[in-house]
Every structure is written in C-alpha cells, then in structure tokens.
Structure 1
Amino acid sequence: MGDVESRGSSVRAAGAKSLAAYLDEEIASGRLGDGSKLPAERLLSEQFGASRGAVRRVLLDLKERGLITQSVGSGTFVRPGAASTFPVRRREQAAPPSADQTSPAELMEARILIEPLMPRLITRNATGADFTKMVECIDRSEAAQTIEEFEHWDGELHRVFALATHNSFFLKILELTNRVREQGEWGRLKARSLTPERRKEYEAQHRVIVEALRDRDTDAAVKALTGHLVQIQHNLFG
C-alpha cells in the first residue's frame, strides 16, 4: 500500500512540475497574453494530474512573481507585461518548435503521457454524437484499403477523442500531433511496422477503448488507451 501511495505522490509531484513549466512557457512566449484567463483550478488539476493543493501552490508562486492576478468570483488572469519579466533568451526559447523539429519517437513519448488524461473528461462530457463519430472512424479504418487511408482514420479517431473532451487544450495538442504525423518519417515508420496482424490488433484495441468510454468506465478506458499507445511505440521502435 505504501508503494502505491508513494507512486501516486510522485505522479502528482511530476504533474505540478509540468504545470509550472507549462504556464511559465505559455506566459513567456506570449501564447497566454496580457489579460488571458487561465483555466479553472479543477481543470488544471485534471489535465496535469496534480492535486488541487499543488495547483494552488503553483498559482501562488506565479502571483508572487508578479505574473498573474487572482480575483474571487472572476478567476485568474495574466498580469499585463508579464512576458517582459522573462529574459529575452527565455522568451525566445519558449517559442513553440516547428513540427519538423519533433521526431516520431518524441511524439509517441508525449502521446503516452498526454492522451491517457482525456478519458476522464470524455466519460464526463461526451455526447451521443461524439460516440457516433468514434464508431464511424473505427468502421472506416477497418474498411480502409491502403495504409494511408487506415492511418487517416486512425488519426481522425484520436482527434475525435480530443473533441469529445470538450476542452480546447486537447484540441491544440492534437493539432500538433497531426502535424508530426503528416511528416514523411512517421509515414515510413508506420508503413514498415504495420503488418496485417498488428492492424487487426489496433482495430480491436480501438473498439475496446470506445466501448469503455461509452460505458463511462474511466479506469478501463485509460488502461486500454495507454496499452494501445505503448504497443504502437513498441511496434514502431522496438
């Protein structure tokens, strides 16, 4: 039991560090501009796997550094001129890398960390129309005659997962994901690794994921989605 609690604490601590780094970079780069409203503490907690207390500590640090303001009943906002408090070099480094600077290996590492966060929001927010789109993507991917067509509908299914969270943060992440998937290197790796047997496994995994989401079974959906992504990573890179 102690080991489980220790691992849980480590994960939450890592989530708080990721949140702090993310907000620093967003403010330094200007993507969170003057007056921008930050997501609610609850959403930040869910998205980064950090406790509500840890989220508050991160926000308090930003406030003490003069980067944000907080107003009861209104929310948390980026203070005007906050980006200028960062060194010029830091602001330049915070600019998002172009898609061609992200390797397929880096993409898979990020997907395994980020995408399993989505089921909690999907099981809470998804509509019947969202699930209909998921099933359509699966049907079309199974009917695909080429690797390119299969890859298109596979990517579309994961985009529908992001849409079904009804949270714009995940849509932005998936936009970056799809830019990397459009690169030639990703296509070559997928074509080399996607045997008929593996394709059938992916198709079966897709249906398990969607069934768990439709049943509003968050834990089962997280487990199935994580297993699916880990297997793709293994098949691509060994």
Structure 2
Amino acid sequence: MRGAEPRNNSSQRVFMSSGVKAFEQYLSDALGSGRLAPGDRLPPERSWCEQFGISRGTVRRVLGRLRERGLITQIKGSGTFVTGTVQDHADDGKLYTSPAELMEARLLIEPLMPALIVKNANAHDFRGMEECLLRSEQAESVQEFERWDGELHRSFAQATHNSLFLHILELTNRVREEAEWGRLKRQSLTPERMRQYKDQHRAIYEALLNRDLNEARAQMLRHLEQIQSNLFDG
C-alpha cells in the first residue's frame, strides 16, 4: 500500500499469506453463491493485485488452480470467464484445502508439538525421526525429498503421543499429495532451498533430542515460515 510504513520480512510474509487466503476465499464464496456465474468475465489481474495486496504471479497461480478444476476459462486477448460453479465441480465428500490454507494452519499447529515431544518422546520415537531425517537428507529428487519430509513431520506428530496431532498430520499429508501442492513445491524447491530444509530438519531434531523446548519451537517456526515464504513469495 502506498504511503505505508515498510514491513519487516516476517510481517510481510504474514501479510502476503493473508492476502492469498482472502483472494482464494473471495473467489470461492463468489463462485459458490452465484455472485460470479457462468459467462461472467473476471476483472483483470492488476485489479486483483491492488485489491488483495498480492503479486501477479500469485493471482495467476490461484486462477490456474480454478482453471484446472473447470471453474474458469482463460481466452487470450479476451479475458477470464466463469465456466462453472463450486457445486458443479464438488468432489463427493472430499475436503478441499488450498496450499495457502494448509500453511496457515501448519504455522499455528506444528509449533505446539515440541512441548509434547519434549515431555513424551521415547527412544523409539527418536529412532523413527532419525530414520526419516537420514532418508530425506539422502533424497536427490523433489518427489523423494517431499515423501520423507512428510514422513519426518509425521514422526514428530507420533512422538507427541497425542492422537489429535497425528490425525492433523495425516490430513496435512493428504493435502501435500494434491497436484497443487506438488506443483508449487516443484516451482519453489531449488537445490539450495532443499539443502536449507535439510539443515533445518536436523536442527529441529537435535533440539528435540536435547529436550530443548525453546530451541525446538523456534527452529520449527523458522522452518515453516521459510516454506511459506518460498511457496508464495517466489
């Protein structure tokens, strides 16, 4: 916003994430309620950027997901048009969660786990974490790394010995298997970032192993914030 005070990096990430979430929610509500009906033309990308404070690349990614779901069509030189409604394309009983929603929830939930891990984890739990950690460190492809990354975070949930966290992480991994998450991860996960994630995983594990709650929580939050920034800020 013009004239606003500059934000620090953390505040900027939160602002961008909230803008993405607001944009996705607006489109979902408009398509679901009929405010945007088949045949309607959507405003240009520039207006979305100004309204929600997001980048043009973010707008294109969100619209691309709607296009893949058959809800809009984009005609070069003419614009973007609504071709269906959310109800028309609802998947029976399937809960749709966007990558932005997933990261928003993870930032709230996963930093809570270290308190229970430090309190409840046993030797078997730490062996499971270490196995996932080693497999992820040895991964050479994005697909292999993503698999063991998911398993590592699942092992964190298991080590809480609280079934609610395990259920939440199972849902998280289901979203990570969706095409949208995979596409974003492939676009954002450079070799350098993969190395950074591996280092961050190791730091989280070491802090948990040492029963250092404050350090484990800080490392977990730092890791999730970087994932969010890499996925949505380019």
Shorter chain as denominator, the TM-score bin is: 0.5 to 0.7
Gaps spanning 5+ residues in structure 2: where? 1-91
Tell me the residue number matched to 2:109.
Answer: 114
Q: What is the aligned residue count?
A: 142
Q: Distance between the aligned counterparts of 2:136 and 2:171, measured in 1?
A: 22
Judging changes above 3 Å, is the alpha-carbon distance between structure 1 residues 207 and 98 closer, same or farther for their aligned structure 2 residues? farther
Tell me the residue number matched to 1:219.
Answer: 214
Deviation at 1:99, TM superposition (A): 5.6
Write the letter of the residue equivalent to 1:137: C
Tell me the residue number matched to 1:201.
Answer: 196
- With normalisation by structure 1, the TM-score equals 0.58
Deviation at 1:100, TM superposition (A): 4.9
Q: How does 1:90-105 map to 2 (within 5 A)?
A: 100-105=95-100
Identical counterparts, % of pairs: 63
Q: Does 1:138 align with 2:133?
A: yes
Q: Distance between the aligned counterparts of 2:226 and 2:95, measured in 1?
A: 24
Contact kept in structure 2, 1:99 and 1:176, CA below 8 Å: no
Contact kept in structure 2, 1:118 and 1:161, CA below 8 Å: yes
Tell me the residue number matched to 1:124.
Answer: 119
Q: Which has the higher contact order (CA 8 A, sep 6+)?
A: 2
Tell me the residue number matched to 2:174.
Answer: 179
Q: Which runs of 4+ in 1 moved over 6 A?
A: none
Show CA shifts across 1:27-63 (max 9, x none).
xxxxxxxxxxxxxxxxxxxxxxxxxxxxxxxxxxxxx
Contact kept in structure 2, 1:99 and 1:179, CA below 8 Å: no
Tell me the residue number matched to 2:165.
Answer: 170
SS of 2:165 mapped into structure 1: helix
Judging changes above 3 Å, is the alpha-carbon distance between structure 1 residues 123 and 184 closer, same or farther for their aligned structure 2 residues? same
User: Relative to total residues, which structure has the larger helix share, 1 or 2?
Assistant: 1
Show CA shifts across 1:92-133 (max 9, x none).
xxxxx9665210010000000000000000001001111111
SS of 1:101 mapped into structure 2: coil
Judging changes above 3 Å, is the alpha-carbon distance between structure 1 residues 184 and 122 closer, same or farther for their aligned structure 2 residues? same
Q: Distance between the aligned counterparts of 2:195 and 2:94, measured in 1?
A: 29
Q: How does 1:46-125 map to 2 (within 5 A)?
A: 100-125=95-120
Contact kept in structure 2, 1:119 and 1:213, CA below 8 Å: yes
SS of 2:211 mapped into structure 1: coil
Q: Distance between the aligned counterparts of 2:153 and 2:105, measured in 1?
A: 14
- With normalisation by structure 2, the TM-score equals 0.59
User: Out of 138, 150, 155, which is 2:150 matched to?
Assistant: 155
